[in-house]
Amino acid sequence: MEVKDIVDLKTVKTNMNAKTKDEVLNELAHLLLENGYITEIDGFMRDIYAREAEGQTGIGNYIAIPHGKSAYVKNIGVAIGINKEEIPWETLDGKGVKGIILFAVGNDNEGANSHLKLLSLFARKLGNDEVVKDLLHSNSSADVMEAFA
Amino acid sequence: MKIVGVAACTVGIAHTYIAQEKLENAGKAAGHEIAIETQGTIGTENELTKEQITAADIVILAADVKIAGRERFEGKRIIQVPTEVAVKSPNKLIEKAAEVIEKK
């Protein structure tokens, strides 16, 4: 598997019109539920917000990486949303965010090492300015996947 | 100069690896040799070798949690920051590291 295989076209949404963090997180969490990554919205969101409370997940450059380990995660994965307008978010550079990468990782990752490894390489790419630029300019799920290729 | 470091965040899924990428890119862009070990959910990766640590002019610890194997860096110059500093201002952090070395 390659890093871009972490991206599931079914859990990517571009040209979103969300106005708030809650709205975008809810939409992305629903994609994760519909595609079998998580077992429940409420429990998963509680765990995501628990991490949000610990510190900023907006890493600058209009990107946010909400994440947390959650017992409600069945399969490791990510949901990616590209929003048309900036959404207010707690960020390191004080700007809002347009690209939201919601990580789904379980508490017990026994036997999931190859997936976790892929996820770490995926996360690493978010530290790369070129990748981020391509990601933010994505107009389709395929563009998003290509940004990580 | 030669830089080694460790990145480790609380959850060990995201910031650790973003910090690694940003530091390595910033270090290389400034013309340094740099290697960053990650300690995350998956465990330790890109583990620093004894030779790398011995040869290093400075150690950067970008960590929000206690890192494993800190004793490996005993006697070395260490800069310790939260991961978010490495994520937010990698270039400044590398510059700072260079300054510390020059003052030696």
Residue-range domain boundaries for chain A: 3-147
CATH homologous superfamily for the domain B2-103:
Response regulator (3.40.50.2300)
pLDDT of residue A142: 96
Where is B2: in which H helix or E strand?
strand B2-8
Q: Would you call B13 and A103 a contact, using CB atoms and an 8 Å cutoff?
A: yes
* Shortest Cα distance, chain A CAs vs residue B75, angstroms: 30
pLDDT averaged per 10 residues, chain A (length 149): 90 97 97 97 96 92 94 95 97 96 90 88 95 97 95
In whole angstroms, what is the distance from residue B6 CA to residue A138 CA?
A: 33
Residue B104: pLDDT band with limits 50, 70, 90: low
In whole angstroms, what is the distance from residue A81 CA to residue A89 CA?
A: 14
* Amino acid type, A132: V
Question: Is the interface score ipTM higher than 0.90?
Answer: yes
Q: pTM score, two decimals?
A: 0.94
What CATH number labels A3-147?
A: 3.40.930.10
Q: What is the mean pLDDT of chain B?
A: 96
Whether B15 contacts chain A with CB within 8 A? yes
At A45, give phi and psi (nearest 5°): -65, -35
At A18, give phi and psi (nearest 5°): -65, 150
pLDDT of residue A111: 77
Could you state, in order of their start, the residue ranges of all structural domains in chain B?
A: 2-103
Among A54, A117, A123, the residue with its CB nearest the CB of B14 is A123
